[in-house]
Amino acid sequence: MTDTEKKILDLRATLKYHSDRYYNDDAPEIEDYEYDMMMRELKALEKAHPEYDSPDSPTKRVGGKADNTFASVAHTVRMESLQDAFSEQEIYDFDKRVRDAVNAPHYVVEPKIDGLSVSLEYVNGVFSRGSTRGDGDTGEDVSGNLRVIRNIPLKLNKNIPFIEVRGEVYMPKKSFDRVVDRQLIAGEKPFKNPRNAAAGSLRQKDSEVTATRGLDIFVFNVQQVEGAEFTSHKQSLDFLKELGFNTIPFYKRVDSIDEAFAEVEHIGEQRGNLEFDIDGAVIKVDDFDDRELLGSTSKFPKWAVAFKYPPEEKQTKLIDIEIAVGRTGVLTPTAVLEPVHLAGTTVSRATLHNQDFINEKNVNIGDIVTVRKAGDIIPEVRCVNEKHSDGSFIYPTVCPSCGEEVVREEGEAAIRCVNPECPAQLLRNLIHFCSRDAMDIEGLGPSIIETFVNEGMISKITDIYRLDEAEIATLEGFKETSANNIVTSVEKSKANDLGKLLFALGIRHIGAKAAKLLSDELKDIDAVMNATAEDILQIDGFGTIMADSVVDFFKKQGSRELVSELKELGVNTKSLNVITDTRFEGMTFVLTGTLPNYKRSEASKIIEGFGGKTSSSVSKKTTYVLSGESSGSKLDKANALGIPVIGEAEFEEMIK
């Protein structure tokens, strides 16, 4: 094998990996610009060495494939990708190719929204189906989730027989900030950027979750239509506005490529001030007859090009490194910078991720560093340009908030404070304790908890159960009714199941389901506190890390004192899961797909109420797989292992 062939094969494998991470897992590991540069290198090598051409090369495909979570949709009109350009010269080369085929072309320039491309279909003016682009030929039916996006009209302003339009679902920056705040409060891994968040939200199996994410859409193309005719792209966009669609913003028709590129630059200057992400600008031939003459390649239309903006980078001085402590105790470093204007905003702080990142970049206070906005959202330090310090910055050995020694567990990048009484973790711990999956104290949302902390009414978890109705009513913005509602909700939470309390305590590695398993198996918090790791490992679904985490949590005197105080305040510490019918005892069910009459949570509750267990993965220990519509890989695995598969009708017979 030649070095060139090896390079081509390596690039194809790397691009395929990152394409899967971006399109199908919604978890990108590299920036778009790095991906684009690798793709460009591969194209150049394939062009220079046609003997190594391959039909399955990433250069021959539109990124992404249909996820088997949703039903497949075959696109009648192919949802093509766009050819990318990275320089002014490439834009003028595109114009020359266009003018070689058509006379005096006009162009429409519009921003390239960084989101997830979808198709919307309307029959007699009523929304009938929506799907993702997928690989361009086949996508996923996500109609239910698209219906909850407010800017998608369910009925058009005109009753036309049929229209299919293409748009980009995106998450506005404000919505992204809210979602990330909620994820951090819940101790979840936050979305990396708004595009990633939009894709993950649109693929939710529960449309109620999608509805909470604040998604939006811009429509930018007519795919096919009956009952209307257009001769140009601008004319079609104007028509889409009349129908009630939220069309692509500030699109502009121009008469020359000079004007087109000037508009591309104008859009680029605005991108830092927009309420949504763009990763480029698109230049399209306006006249549809001209487009017909130009045609398409196997992947791109020849009548359009996307100019991709490079990530903007600036050099500045790192003047300090601050260490913050999060809800889970993780110490997070932030670079404090001499302010620099970057991508439309003034940047004075940037993420340094963790100690490993700091060591890798050899970063320290006083260095001159290059800063850029990762995905044009989160500022990060890219590298050191001038070294003005000795070595790398070293984390403190004690928590900057409480002074307790910090630890780094084997195999983890995070350094954390494990003191449950740490003041820096108080607010986030309180918010988590009151959240829906935990103690579910209605009325005690993040802003109200913060108010009570600032007023000195809450300084630890148990103070929640000492809140005074009269004192709350004296605060600005509160009345007797709202004060009474809060106190009533606090009192109601005392009767919660032990599982909710265990989750509320914020034990590392213990989610809501694991907390319920502990409650159901051990029945009483005293049994949980006194259990050994070996005892907990006997519970199906628990591994060594989870078991050790529970034991370590209750070893701490502060944890035991907290439980003792909660008991004195009347909080229930016993399991309420009393099983009188044990027909499913010893059985494990795996649920997959969508059931017509039950939410998964409802079906799981029924199974557990009859003494059974539910699991998220199929194994030889699985008794039944309860399968609904659009079942995916779990169904395939069940069939391969010979696990009995039942539908909703059979399930209802079993629970009569």
448 contact partners, CB below 8 Å, separation of at least 6: 486
3-state secondary structure of 225: strand
Cα separation values, 614 from 44, 64, 85, 101, 585, Å: 52, 32, 51, 62, 11
Q: Distance between CA atoms of 640 and 133, rounded to whole angstroms? A: 30
Name the CA radius of gyration of the chain, rounded: 28
Beta bridge mates, 335: 321, 350
In terms of phi and psi (left: phi > 0; alpha: psi -120 to 50; beta: otherwise), the region of 48 is alpha
Mode of pairing for the β-strands spanning 313-325 and 345-351: unpaired
Residue 417 tokens, joined: 């404070």
How does 422-455 read in b/e, with b if 16+ C-beta sit within 10 Å?
bebbbbbbbbbbbbeebbebebbebebbebbeee
Residues 6+ apart with CB under 8 A from 105: 95, 98, 99, 285, 286, 287, 290
Distance CA(335)–CA(501), nearest Å, equals 37
The DSSP result for 334-381, as a single string, is: EEEEEEEEETTEEEEEEE--SHHHHHHHT--TT-EEEEEEETTTEEEE
How many alpha carbons fall within 13 Å on the CB side of residue 97?
16
Asked if 112 is an active-site residue, the reply is yes
C-alpha 503/C-alpha 516 separation (Å) is 8
Of the candidates 392, 396, 458, which has an alpha carbon nearest to the alpha carbon of residue 423? 458
Q: Exactly one of 6, 7, 112, 605 is catalytic; which is it?
A: 112
| Contact yes or no for 311/372 (Cβ under 8 A) | yes
Residue 216, SS3 per DSSP: strand
Give the CA angle between residues 472, 477, 481 to the nearest 5°.
Answer: 60
Distance CA 66, CA 69 (A): 9
Phi-psi region of 461 (alpha: psi -120 to 50; beta: other; left: phi over 0): alpha
Give the angle 486-491-493 at the CA atoms, nearest 5°: 95
Place of tokens 């390596």: 10
Q: Which of 437, 585, 578 is nearest to 512 (CA)?
A: 437
- φ, ψ dihedrals at 304, nearest 5°: -145, 155
Tell me if residue 534 falls in helix, strand or coil.
Answer: helix
Contacts 24+ apart (CB under 8 A), 409-416: 413/353, 413/354, 413/355, 413/356, 414/330, 414/331, 414/354, 415/330, 415/331, 415/354, 415/355, 416/328, 416/329, 416/330, 416/331
Hey, which residues are catalytic here?
A: 112
